[in-house]
Structure formats: structure tokens, C-alpha cells
Amino acid sequence: MDFRLSEEHEALRESVRDFARDAVAPVIAEHYERHTFPYEIVRQMGKMGLFGLPFPEEHGGMGGDYFALCLALEELARVDSSVAITLEAAVSLGAMPIHRFGTDEQKARWLPKLLSGEALAGFGLTEPGTGSDAGGTQTRAVLDGDEWVINGSKAFITNSGTDITALVTVTAVTGTNPDGSKELSTIIVPAGTPGFTVAPGYSKVGWNASDTHELTFDDCRVPAGNLLGARGRGFAQFLRILDEGRIAIAALAVGLAQGCVDESVKYAKERQAFGQPIGNYQAIQFKIADMELKAHTARLAYYDAAARMLAGEPFKRQAAIAKLHASTVAVDNAREATQIHGGYGFMNEYPVARFWRDSKILEIGEGTSEVQRMIIARDLGM
Ligand SMILES: Cc1cc2nc3c(=O)[nH]c(=O)nc-3n(C[C@H](O)[C@H](O)[C@H](O)COP(=O)(O)OP(=O)(O)OC[C@H]3O[C@@H](n4cnc5c(N)ncnc54)[C@H](O)[C@@H]3O)c2cc1C
């Protein structure tokens, strides 16, 4: 058993750490405050190859693995989660379904621009009326000649309304299975297709420099060839995508938790109270030690899930454990980091205020903490 990173993974981690410090940290607070999408950062991440990390070189990928993506997400989220979720959603939810399930033609058409970061794709699963219970999908797609006609809406879809969004993959009911359950399929809807409307961005508590919209499909017609994978495979497809995505979200949560440690250590050494730095007080030291403990154990949990996935072993339970634990830890550390910063922790100019606002969604997105517990319990035979 060896938890040390390979030379390639270590080099990647170092370069993303430098990038986050030099290119993200100086500008992200302003994007966050103004709720603007960081196009220039995305462009630079594209040049670094981050959008292509876990994909083969054939379609412009970097030939790396999913763990490499996780390391990059951790280092980005250590500085900012809006940028990290933009990358996570673009790769794990946007490009990955096309890579995993697409035809050669779909891959050739979409992957080169998605893997270079020149374009982004959204993953449209959640609906206004149903999130955790994805089987409750109401959006319908009916085959009319050689076109799918889509009607319905999707809620909270990341990267779906940027200037460089090329497509969204949409989960829709396409019929009824022999057992009477809904037949779910996934369809590619290119941006700008008539009948596909992107609502203005939500007013969110956190992730303010990321892009999230409600989408409406009103007699939206796309070619029959836009079906992603086989008809009726939609359920299996999004389960696979979400299982993997949970490891990525766990990595992002670990990054936020570690960023809270970084900021707290720095602040505790500087801030004076009662004649000495607050970091001299054991109460503060113990808080920071507990935060480090949590970030470290959550990191081990996602390393374990990623290692199982890359080895081709079952990893569903471990991915759910990693996501559940890391998101809890992120919320805990953000709360404690804010406490250590006192009143300044409540001021938006301090990174910990951003971490606090960005932490809560980690217990909700890509499967709530309750859903993770359901997955773990089911995997234990309950
Ligand atoms: C900023 C942001 C970005 C997002 N990006 C995307 C995206 O790109 N693509 C996408 O498809 N979705 C996206 N989502 C949606 C996200 O995945 C869902 O919000 C999440 O899965 C929860 O679904 P819901 O909001 O409908 O909550 P609900 O499913 O309505 O759940 C409400 C509460 O009930 C609990 N609950 C539900 N069922 C049970 C049960 N059986 N037992 C116990 N408790 C239960 C839940 O845990 C939760 O606490 C995003 C959301 C946000 C806020």
C-alpha cells in the first residue's frame, strides 16, 4: 500500500497549486462579488490541459486518469470553489457522458472543443419537481420521424448558459419499459437549438462565479442521431456518471477544507488578542488540529475510492462515503475557519467567508448527504 503520488501526479498538483495561487486568487473575489463568470481563468485552464485530464489523447485529451482530475480539483478548491466546480462539471458531467457513451461521430464532433476548454457542456438531470428521485423525471422526448421532440424543464444546471456552452445532455422519458417503469434516455441538445431556452442565472448563496440556470424545452427538435448511447440506458448512464462525480466532488470538498486550514493557520499567527497571537492559545490550536485531521481523513477516503475505480473494482460505496465525509468536513472546517477569523470571517473580502458560503452546497449537489447514506446502506444489503 503506497499513498504517495506518482511523479506525474505530484507535478500536476504543483502546477495547479501555482496556477490557483498566481492566476485565480488575485482575481476571483471580484468575480464572486460581481457574479461574473471567469472566462479568462477558464481559457488558461484550457491551455494547461485541465479540461482534457482524464481523457485519451485521440480526441485531444491529456491521457491522464480520473485521479489526476481529482488532484486538480482539490488544488483549485483550496483557493476557490466556483472555478473548481466549473472544471468538475465541465469534465465529469459535461464531457464524460459523451466520452463514455457517445458514438464515434458524436465524440469527433464534440470532444475536441470540450477537452480543450474552448467549449463547455452541461448535464441536465435535475428538474424543478425532482432531484434526488431522478426516476421522477417528467421531461419527455418523442421520436417524430428522424427527430426527437423534447418538452420539459431542468433546474440548477451548471455551465449551461455561458457564452461558450456548446450543448447540454438532457435526461428524458422516451417510453415505458416492459415492467411499466419509465424508459429514460439521454439526448444531446446543442446550444441555440430553437425551443431550448436558458433562464437568467440564479441568485445563489455561494459558487457565485459559476454558471447555473434553469432550462426549458418547448417542442425542441434535435436529430434522432443526438441520442447518447442506446435508447432506455439513461438511468444506468447517469448512475455511472454520478458515482464517478462523487469522487470528484469529494476532492473538491477536501480542497475547500484544506483551504480553511491554510487561511486559519495564517490568520492565527497574525491576529493578536490579549497581548499575543491567537494561535498561541490552545483552544485555537486544537480547532486547527481538528480541521487538519478532518481534511486528511477525507482525502484518504477519496484516494481510496479513486484507486478502486481506476483498478476497475466496485467503488459505489466508497465514492458515497468519500462524498458524504468530505462534504461534512468542508462544512465543519468552513464554520471553524470563520470562527477563528472572528468578525473578519463574516466579511466577504476574506477567503473564509467565501469558503463558508461555498461549503453548504457540497452536502446537496450530485446527491445529498441523505442520498449518500441511502447508497451506503443499500450497498450493505439493507
Ligand atoms: C448550484 C447547483 C448546481 C447544480 N448543478 C447541477 C447540474 O449541473 N446538473 C444537475 O442535473 N443537477 C444539478 N444540481 C442539482 C442538485 O444535484 C440537486 O439539487 C440535488 O440532487 C438535490 O435535489 P433537489 O434539490 O431536488 O432536492 P430534493 O430531492 O427535493 O430533496 C430535498 C430534501 O429531501 C431529502 N430527501 C429526498 N429523498 C429522500 C429520501 N428518500 N430519504 C431521506 N431524505 C430524502 C434530500 O436529501 C433533501 O434534504 C445543482 C444544484 C445546485 C444548487
CA distance 60 to 67: 18
* pLDDT string in tens for the chain (382-residue length): 788 999 999 999 999 999 999 999 999 999 999 999 999 999 999 999 999 999 999 999 999 999 999 999 999 999 999 999 999 999 999 999 999 999 999 999 999 999 999 999 999 999 999 999 988 999 999 999 999 999 999 999 999 999 999 999 999 999 999 999 999 999 999 999 999 999 999 999 999 999 999 999 999 999 999 999 999 999 999 999 999 999 999 999 999 999 999 999 999 999 999 999 999 999 999 999 999 999 999 999 999 999 999 999 999 999 999 999 999 999 999 999 999 999 999 999 899 999 999 999 999 999 999 999 999 999 999 9
* pTM confidence score: 0.97
CA of 127, closest atom in ligand 1: 26
Tell me which residue has cell 457574479.
35
CA of 89, closest atom in ligand 1: 8
CA distance 83 to 67: 18
CA of 371, closest atom in ligand 1: 47
The rounded Å distance from CA 368 to ligand 1 centre is: 6
Beta bridge partners, 277, equal: 272
Q: Among residues 156, 151, 155, 163, which one has the least CA distance to residue 189?
A: 151
Residue 36: which residues within 8 A CB-CB, separation 6 or more? 30, 209
Q: Among residues 224, 286, 299, which one has the least CA distance to residue 257?
A: 299
Q: Among residues 220, 174, 176, 214, which one has the least CA distance to residue 198?
A: 214
Taking residue 266's Cβ as centre, other Cβ atoms within 10 Å add up to 12
The rounded Å distance from CA 365 to ligand 1 centre is: 6
- Report yes or no: 87 and 364 within 8 Å, Cβ to Cβ: no
Ligand 1 pocket: which of 358, 364, 369 to mutate (most atoms within 8 A of CB): 364
First-to-last C-alpha distance (Å) of the chain = 31
- Catalytic site residues? 366
Residue ID of nearest Cα to ligand 1 atom 44: 370
Ligand 1 pocket, Cβ-based, cut-off 6 angstroms: 89, 93, 122-126, 131-132, 156-158, 204, 207, 212, 361, 364-368, 370-371
**pLDDT for the residue 1:** 77
**pLDDT for the residue 135:** 86
The rounded Å distance from CA 128 to ligand 1 centre is: 10
Q: Among residues 364, 288, 360, 298, which one has the least CA distance to residue 329?
A: 298
Residue ID of nearest Cα to ligand 1 atom 24: 131
**pLDDT for the residue 89:** 98
Residue ID of nearest Cα to ligand 1 atom 52: 156
CA distance 136 to 78: 36
Q: What kind and span of H or E run contains 166?
A: strand 165-176
**pLDDT for the residue 3:** 83
